[in-house]
Structure 1
């Protein structure tokens, strides 16, 4: 993922950081409309998380890059996403582990972590590539991202 260019989310913050990482996970989409994706299969997901803010923390970071990676990689790498019942649900289509829902879930996990930081950075977007030709970008509505 060297020198990958991602669509940017417009903002007025002083700092923006982007963290790239990958994780390997299996999933299935419990819907007849999903076709072949109803069967368990795996992906190497490539993710980019964009965080922005105006203040640095006591270490001079907006947020430590390694912590962003660990939040997601540590939770999802080499798992069956459907088994994570805190994040995904086989009965509710809004929580099936589709690329869209996984991207939103990554945002939710990162933002929940950021909410506990005294410098209050925000996660602006999550870019999640599922295959070489398919990806999703999740950007929360401005009100959710800025906690206005």
Structure 2
């Protein structure tokens, strides 16, 4: 396997894990300004999910790698992203399946799963490479604590 280098995200957690995945999926961007991308086409997306936390679970994992694969790869691989109507739609550009929105959506799906874990890990970064020359990094904004 080829060594991958990702942009680093700064955090104060003790543990950080990264899970790499390839996802073969089709999509289209329902907007005339998308040019050729407004037509159905496919990519072999390369996805990296970064999760951080301070506590390990009862098995000694921050999060089991197979759980991350199930959450992301098993849901999106060999699908048409636009068909995931619970996540994407053709009426609001914030929900078109662009690479930016795909990265944010993967973060949302992963973090929702992590929110149910008692060890409270956080998804701190999602990296999605659409082509050999184009990628997006999504990082959630830090929440400001209220006093």
Give me the TM-score of the superposition, normalised by structure 2: 0.96
Equivalence for 1:117: 117
Q: Distance in 2 between matches of 1:100 and 1:69?
A: 20
Equivalence for 1:46: 46
Query: After superposition, what is the alpha-carbon deviation per residue over 1:106-126, rounded to whole angstroms, capped at 9, x for unaligned?
Result: 000000000000100000000
Aligned ranges 1:1-148 → 2 under 5 Å: 2-143=2-143
Q: Distance in 1 between matches of 2:19 and 2:75?
A: 16
Query: After superposition, what is the alpha-carbon deviation per residue over 1:76-118, rounded to whole angstroms, capped at 9, x for unaligned?
Result: 1111100100010100100000000000000000000000001
Q: Distance in 2 between matches of 1:22 and 1:129?
A: 9
Q: Distance in 1 between matches of 2:86 and 2:80?
A: 13
Which consecutive unaligned segments of at least 5 residues does structure 1 have? none
Cα offset, 1:70, TM superposition: 1.1
Query: After superposition, what is the alpha-carbon deviation per residue over 1:29-72, rounded to whole angstroms, capped at 9, x for unaligned?
Result: 00011000000000000000000000000000000011101111
Q: Distance in 1 between matches of 2:91 and 2:27?
A: 15
Secondary structure at the counterpart of residue 135 of structure 1: strand
How many equivalent pairs are there?
145
Give me the TM-score of the superposition, normalised by structure 1: 0.95
Runs of 4+ in 1 over 2 A off after TM superposition: none
Q: Distance in 1 between matches of 2:21 and 2:2?
A: 11
Which consecutive unaligned segments of at least 5 residues does structure 2 have? none
Q: Distance in 1 between matches of 2:64 and 2:73?
A: 15
